[in-house]
Amino acid sequence: MPMVRTWNPNSEGKFCCFYIYQGQSCNTGLPVSVTIIIWALAVILFLLALHHNFLSLSSLLRNDVSDSGIVGLQPIDFTANFHQHPVNERQEEIPVVIAASEDRLGGTIAAINSIHQNTRSNVIFYIVTFNRTADHLRSWLNSGSLKSIRYKIVNFDTKLLEGKVKEDPDQGESMKPLTFARFYLPILVPSAKKAIYMDDDVIVQGDILALYNTPLKPGHAAAFSEDCDSASTKVMIRGAGNQYNYIGYLDYKKERIRKLSMKASTCSFNPGVFVANLTEWKRQNVTNQLEKWMKLNVEEGLYSRTLAGSITTPPLLIVFYQQHSTIDPMWNVRHLGSSAGKRYSPQFVKAAKLLHWNGHFKPWGRAASYADVWEKWYIPDPTGKFSLIRRHMDTSNIK
């Protein structure tokens, strides 16, 4: 075999001569085939190392939301999948916090689905639940059209509420621990400047980006929908107090409440849907303020005895007295769950950006107004553990 000479520049700018002579490379003295195999193995090892580093980076990115610094709020998992429809990744991330209790899980799923299907924005869901519910929730989220959402599941430890809440069987649903998740937004979403909180008994018909872009006044840590707005109907509570002003939520006979100099006729607001400025929330130590009033209520009983709304409302009313912005009332059309009858016209319900079934009559229950509107967004439970009560009753009647 003739000698073949090739020239290649080395790292010093000079040229090195490589020979292939009678099946050997002169720089190694090894057969050409062996040299090729060695180079091939080197390339494979390099690619394996590169792949390992990529997986490590991917793992880091999948856990980009840092662990909570408070006992009681521990991340379970974080999933970032491809979106079902085009999303501008350069858009600001929109964090949406929502609770997920086992007996109301269908509500959470419907709310998430309605948000996901009505926006092309970069939304990430922070879903607060218990460890025992996480697997059920995850299997539901990984089915059907929800496979493409981005979410983080966070475990809520009830020890967080020790000394801050007293048992009251008359409060029922409002006493459930997960309802207090809204107090801990900066801990749930530590890297965000803004976030949206919403209850699990809502469905969204507008683009969540519009709600997220609600302007907050300087110094305001949150924006709520006031109960005196034009989209809400004033509702009497058990014949004593009103659900649309402060006296319906706080006991003005208590000296500590009177010392706050808050007008009893002040319009209250609904905390089931709100936008939070987390930078301002942290600056004002809002979470600590809320916990303070929770403890004082346990000691002194500061909430109204005729309280019909959520037990989370009174401390929020105190902390945000005349210090909150407002959201468009069409982004919290509520009281759909206050009775089984229809209190709004079909045209008004269709025009609403967000429908809220606050009250005892939930859309997954036996009877509720406009349950058919809610059910459009409901995704059946792939495990079969959760089922619509009225549908179950209809099936039983047929049998």
- Of the candidate ranges 124-133, 299-308, 383-392, the one whose mean pLDDT is the lowest: 383-392
Residue 7 pLDDT > 90: no
With respect to residue 216, please indicate whether it lies within any of the assigned structural domains. Answer: yes
With respect to residue 121, please indicate whether it lies within any of the assigned structural domains. Answer: yes
Taking only the tens place, the pLDDT of each residue in 250-288 is 999 999 999 999 999 999 999 999 999 999 999 999 999
As for how many domains the chain has, the answer is 1
Amino acid at 334: R
In this structure, how many other beta carbons lie within 10 angstroms of the beta carbon of residue 6? 10
With respect to residue 46, please indicate whether it lies within any of the assigned structural domains. Answer: no
**pLDDT, mean over the chain:** 81
Residue 397 pLDDT > 70: no
With respect to residue 147, please indicate whether it lies within any of the assigned structural domains. Answer: yes
Instruction: Name every residue whose Cβ is closer than 8 Å to that of residue 169 and which is 6 or more positions away in sequence.
Output: none
With respect to residue 20, please indicate whether it lies within any of the assigned structural domains. Answer: no
Mean pLDDT on 296-324 = 91
pLDDT band at 206 (very low <50, low <70, confident <90, very high): very high
Q: Residue 128: which CATH number?
A: 3.90.550.10
CA–CA gap between residue 185 and residue 320 (Å, rounded)? 15
Residue 393 pLDDT > 90: no
CA–CA gap between residue 182 and residue 95 (Å, rounded)? 13
Taking only the tens place, the pLDDT of each residue in 210-258 is 999 999 999 999 999 999 865 555 444 443 345 689 999 999 999 999 9
Closest CA to 292 of 309, 314, 273: 314
Closest CA to 84 of 51, 108, 61, 116: 116
Mean pLDDT on 134-148 = 93
With respect to residue 161, please indicate whether it lies within any of the assigned structural domains. Answer: yes
> Residue 164 sits in which domain range?
94-226+269-284+324-376
> Which residues pair with residue 333 across a beta bridge?
355
With respect to residue 249, please indicate whether it lies within any of the assigned structural domains. Answer: no
CA–CA gap between residue 286 and residue 294 (Å, rounded)? 12
With respect to residue 309, please indicate whether it lies within any of the assigned structural domains. Answer: no
